[in-house]
Structure 1
Amino acid sequence: MTQRRVLVLNHFAVPPGYPGGTRHVELFSRLPGWSYVIIAGRRNMITGQPQRAEPGFHPVAVTPYRGNGLGRVLNWASYAVTATVSGLRQPRPDVVYASSPHLLAGLSGCVVATLRRTPFVLEVRDLWPRVLVDMGTLAETSLAYRALERLERFLYQRSDRVVIMAPGVRAAIEGKGVAPEKIVFIPNAADPDDFVPSADRDELRRRYRFTRRTAVYAGAHGPANGLDLLLAAAKAVPEIDVVLVGSGVEKPRLQAAALGIRNVRFLDPVPKTEIPDLLHAADVGVHVLADVELFRAGVSPNKVFDYMAAGLPIVTNSPGTVGDLVMGADSGYVTSPGHLAHGLGQMVQASPDELAKMGAAGRGWIRENQSRTAMSHALGRLLAPLVDEAGEAPR
């Protein structure tokens, strides 16, 4: 049987074992009968370090940037150019699969798919440009918003399928004129078998210097993450230590803002292979987002699934999709965006047995309902008919 090829465009993807987004490596590597090449930016968004080519992973040159200004937009544009050139030089794929958040990656995928005459799948990680308006980054009346909104509609029209990662996104995309049967739900996921620690808990707690009940936030430090809310909650609940692990444009400012909050500590990003150890050493996993209405229904956060797979009880300030997940799995506490301190306080008061019960419930839920293997099978069911349809259509 001939192996089929999928070309994946994801600006911010990283190879296995590194800090950052490994969704596509983990999904496509589990897909029998398929080979894959992921085209990503050459610089790791979290660590700032260069990324090298590995089997199935092809980094391309992008311009450097700091902050959220023009340099960041040029970085996106440079990826669109170099990814398109690289995609056209790859062996002809059977499917082109492009992932947002920024729409220029989708445009690059659309161009490659059109020129190579292959099906095009667009994955929507964030509802651009709507999320930029809701966060106050763009005005709805601005020229930039109107241009991005036109590009968004164009990509929806040209795609053969649109993959969404949160169920609440479906209505918004259908509202742009996308047929319901064209939209496929494949959320983020995690496998408990990937979260086996390398040492016992006492040793790991000594390694990370966790001496009291400790809540860990492991993820990006950007405007959307609302980490000022976490700092305020930590200050209000001094009985629990809060450790923020990761990087992002907001980190230096957050570190300055945390001076004097004695129960807050920042750690550098850790490799993906170290995440099981970090989470096993912690007592609580924290998920926090800025107070943006769109986030109630439009997110599928990796960190929540990682916490569940690691058996870690969760506190989230995101009611809606995430909150319903945590409550439905009995795996933690949900608060309103500005009341994260209440959730941390609940975790302080919980007994070790109660924490273990919540962690075990989350771990069981993710194994039964949303493992990487199950999501990979869903991806296979999406891709195979596209190839068959393309094979029947005239070239």
Structure 2
Amino acid sequence: MTHRRVLVLNHFAVPPGQPGGTRHVELFSRLPGWTYVILAGRRNMITGAPQRPEPGFHPVAVTPYRGNGLGRVVNWVSYAVTATAAGLRQPRPDVVYASSPHLLAGLSGCVLATLRRTPFVLEVRDLWPRVLIEMGTLSETSLANRALERLERFLYRRADRVVIMAPGVRAAIEGKGVAPDRIAFIPNAADPEDFTPSADRDELRRRYGFTRRTAVYAGAHGPANGLDLLLAAAEAVPEIDVVLVGSGVEKERLRARARGIRTVRFLDPVPKTEIPDLLHAADVGLHVLADVELFRAGVSPNKVFDYMAAGLPIVTNSPGIVGDLVMGADSGCVTAPGHLAHGLAQMVQASPDELTKMGAAGRRWIREHQSRSAMALTLARLLAPLVDGEDEAAR
């Protein structure tokens, strides 16, 4: 059987089992009839550890950086250059699939698709540059914003398909001139079968030092995550322990801010293979975002799906698409961005049976509606006509 090839560009991808973004490994490894190579940065963005080549995973050199300054932009540029060079050395793919958040990865994918004369798929993880403007890190009148907007429109025009991960993003992309039939919705996902713990709950709670009702935040510690809101809520509701697991540019500042809050603890990132144990030991899963309007319609948070697959009740401070999901699945509670304390208090007051019921409802929902296997089949249906020549009119 002849397999088709897809070349995937994701600066921040990580290989299986490592902390960070494994979306594309999980999707493309389940894609029947395809082989894949993911071009990723050589260092894990979360741990800083070097990433080594593995089957289907090819790391490329990138410049180091700290914080959110010019060094980060240089890091993006370095990835675009080295990923393009690496892509040209790969066997000719049948499709090039490039994923944001930063648009230079999309530009690299577009260049490769043009040079290799192959279809180009652009995956939009965040609406750049709009999200930067709403977070206050980029001025709407700046030269940088105008340049990014032009690049954004260029990539949308050149892409044979645009993959979105949150339905609320569709209108914004259509507003940039992308025809509705060129947009495909493939959100993040999770499989309950991947969240089987390695030991019983009592043993795992001893391992992590969980002695009281414990809420876990597992994810990035960056400006977009709004974790100051979580620390304020933890201070207001001392009846529940809050554990933050992960890394990011804000972590040290947050750790200093939390000194004196005895119910808050920070843990280093854990491998993906350990996440089922961590979540099985916890009582509640926390999803937190900064108070940014765009986040209410334009996110597809991995951690929410992981919590659901693990059977954890959820507290989220993100009304809109995430809040609707949590409420629709009866899997937890939703608060306004600055009212996380209310959600923590509800979890303190809930009985163990109520927590179990919410967790089971979320697990059932994710199995029935948003498993990784189902999303891989959706991706297969997206790619097939591009390769089979059925999509010439759209291109």
Cα distance in 2, alignment partners of residues 390 and 91 from structure 1 = 23
Amino acid across the alignment from 1:230: L
Q: Structure 1 residue runs of 4+, over 4 Å off?
A: 390-393
Residue 251 of structure 1 aligns with which residue?
251
Residue 157 of structure 1 aligns with which residue?
157
Shift of 1:340: 0.4
Residue 190 of structure 1 aligns with which residue?
190
Amino acid across the alignment from 1:313: P
For the pair 1:218 / 2:211, whether they are aligned, the reply is no
TM-score (norm 1): 0.99
Residue 141 of structure 1 aligns with which residue?
141
User: Counterparts in 2 of 1:41-120, with a 5 A limit?
Assistant: 41-120=41-120
Residue 19 of structure 1 aligns with which residue?
19
Q: Aligned with 2:389: secondary structure? A: helix
Cα distance in 1, alignment partners of residues 79 and 143 from structure 2 = 22
Cα distance in 2, alignment partners of residues 62 and 84 from structure 1 = 12
Residue 277 of structure 1 aligns with which residue?
277
Q: Aligned with 1:176: secondary structure? A: coil
TM-score (norm 2): 0.99
Q: Aligned with 2:215: secondary structure? A: strand
- Per-residue CA shift, 1:215-241, capped at 9, x if unaligned? 000000000000000000000000000
Residue 338 of structure 1 aligns with which residue?
338
Cα distance in 2, alignment partners of residues 357 and 304 from structure 1 = 17
Percent identity between the aligned chains? Answer: 89
Shift of 1:390: 7.4
Q: Aligned with 2:266: secondary structure? A: strand
Residue 201 of structure 2 aligns with which residue?
201
Residue 129 of structure 1 aligns with which residue?
129
Cα distance in 2, alignment partners of residues 84 and 322 from structure 1 = 35
Shift of 1:389: 1.4
Residue 367 of structure 1 aligns with which residue?
367
User: Counterparts in 2 of 1:356-395, with a 5 A limit?
Assistant: 356-389=356-389
CA contact (8 A) 2:323 2:334 kept: yes
Shift of 1:2: 1.1
Q: Aligned with 1:168: secondary structure? A: helix
Cα distance in 2, alignment partners of residues 53 and 163 from structure 1 = 27
Shift of 1:391: 9.6
CA contact (8 A) 2:385 2:391 kept: no
Amino acid across the alignment from 2:153: R
- Per-residue CA shift, 1:232-256, capped at 9, x if unaligned? 0000000000000000000000000
CA contact (8 A) 1:119 1:390 kept: no
CA contact (8 A) 1:118 1:390 kept: no
Cα distance in 1, alignment partners of residues 161 and 250 from structure 2 = 34
CA contact (8 A) 2:9 2:39 kept: yes
Cα distance in 2, alignment partners of residues 58 and 342 from structure 1 = 45
Amino acid across the alignment from 2:220: A
Change (3 A) 1:2 1:319: same
User: Counterparts in 2 of 1:232-311, with a 5 A limit?
Assistant: 232-311=232-311
Shift of 1:342: 0.1
Cα distance in 2, alignment partners of residues 65 and 44 from structure 1 = 12
Residue 316 of structure 1 aligns with which residue?
316
Structure 1 unaligned segments of length 5 or more: list them.
Answer: none
- Per-residue CA shift, 1:89-135, capped at 9, x if unaligned? 10000000000000000000000000000000000000000000000
Cα distance in 2, alignment partners of residues 392 and 182 from structure 1 = 12
Cα distance in 1, alignment partners of residues 222 and 372 from structure 2 = 26
Cα distance in 1, alignment partners of residues 150 and 321 from structure 2 = 27
CA contact (8 A) 2:60 2:83 kept: yes
Structure 2 unaligned segments of length 5 or more: list them.
Answer: none
Shift of 1:392: 7.4
